[in-house]
Structure 1
């Protein structure tokens, strides 16, 4: 059976001598894996379309094994995202997050729209902020939003500063926490702002460096706990930040 899907290409890897395996996130089917036969040959009609982050209209053929890409039309290459190192690294983080959090064949139209809108926003907005907002939204859709209002240990209404408790699923008061990761009110307010952000018509808002770093640190720690492994893309982003800091200080 051949059927149409609208999808974002999350990941590509070489397979056999001339083929490629792709991980897609489709509006209709959710996450799925497909094979693009011959896509590594320059003359193949799929070769130019099978690129990370591309927004595609596809005709897939289902069978006893993986889906097979029969036709492919590119709706948006997102070339500027793919070819700019910072944008590429944050887009890779989002695609890896979707791959890890989303089960196969479970449609999430809202998540699909967020991913697509995030790639579009990265063309004109700070990719670091865009990726952080999209990541928190993906976490929310996946059902993992932390508790910020009351202590996850004793249940008392929180007074900030508090501390993040990944295992408890939210913030803990100073009495109950291990005090491992401090969480101030501006960081919580930033996370809430990002969760409520309209990606199609985003309003301008101010971000302090301290709140941004805390919101990122909480997300990274929470993802590590939920996934029980680090995301490879985050390691690359940390290396990129280190290089940028060294350049700013004149060390490289």
Structure 2
């Protein structure tokens, strides 16, 4: 059967002398694996069209759970990412993240849209890689069903009041925000300023077109890092090799 779908290459590896296996995050079929026969020698442009980060319109043949690449029309290759080591590292982490959190054959078109918007943000010369990483992680977990409650205390229902300057905490165990009075119920908890709380609300509710169109202070970035370091491992139990490389790179 012939299948046509828009897809992003999130993983690639060579088999034998010239064949290549690629993992595609598709609009219609979710995550699938396909073979690109003789990709390194093909005159169909498979060598470039099957690289990591390539987004295109893929024509495939399928038999049961096996897909074979027939042709591909390129839509975006994200060249700028390949020319910057930091951008390349963060983008590679996001591909590793997507590969781990998605399931074969399960369509997750909104997550694909988020990934494409994020790659576009990483491609810009003024990209703030640390901010982009945290925005991506938080929005992705929301799309995966782990949307935290950020507008009132999870336990007592105390509504957010900016003027009251009450102190709030983010708890993955609780599933979102807890006030100072309820914090003792949970062992975890990351202290939040109102600015960081508002930023989290923005990340989870704004349209994808506006997702990366904001700036934050160093203080908010530190608190977002604390939330991410606490929130992501709670739901995604995997040590990512690409993050280890990023940490080493940033120490240079």
TM-score of the pair, normalised by structure 1: 0.83
Other structure's SS at 1:28 match:
coil
Q: 1:141 aligns with which of 115, 140, 143?
A: 143
Equivalent residue number for residue 122 of structure 1: 122
Q: Considering Cα pairs closer than 8 Å and 6+ residues apart, tell me whether 1 or 2 has the greater RCO.
A: 2
Equivalent residue number for residue 102 of structure 2: 102
Q: CA deviation at 1:201?
A: 4.9
2:172–2:188 CA contact under 8 A, matched in 1 = no
CA 1:214–1:64: 2 relative to 1, 3 Å? same
Number of equivalences: 243
Equivalent residue number for residue 223 of structure 2: 214
Q: Distance in 1 between matches of 2:70 and 2:251?
A: 43
Equivalent residue number for residue 166 of structure 1: 172
1:19–1:40 CA contact under 8 A, matched in 2 = yes
- Consecutive unaligned residues of structure 2, counting only runs of 5 or more, are none
Cα shift readout 1:214-252 (whole Å, capped 9, x = no counterpart)? 213312322212122223332222223222xxxxxxxxx
Equivalent residue number for residue 247 of structure 1: none
Equivalent residue number for residue 2 of structure 1: 2
Q: Distance in 1 between matches of 2:169 and 2:198?
A: 15
Equivalent residue number for residue 92 of structure 1: 92
2:44–2:71 CA contact under 8 A, matched in 1 = no
Equivalent residue number for residue 244 of structure 2: 235
Q: Distance in 1 between matches of 2:232 and 2:188?
A: 19
CA 1:45–1:9: 2 relative to 1, 3 Å? same
2:9–2:55 CA contact under 8 A, matched in 1 = yes
Q: CA deviation at 1:39?
A: 1.8
Q: CA deviation at 1:180?
A: 5.5
1:35–1:69 CA contact under 8 A, matched in 2 = yes
Cα root mean square deviation, aligned: 2.6
Q: Distance in 1 between matches of 2:65 and 2:212?
A: 45
Q: Distance in 2 between matches of 1:185 and 1:93?
A: 29
Moved more, 90-99 or 34-43: 34-43
Equivalent residue number for residue 193 of structure 2: 184
Q: CA deviation at 1:179?
A: 5.5
Other structure's SS at 1:62 match:
strand
Equivalent residue number for residue 75 of structure 1: 75
1:81–1:123 CA contact under 8 A, matched in 2 = yes
Q: 2:232 aligns with which of 219, 223, 226?
A: 223
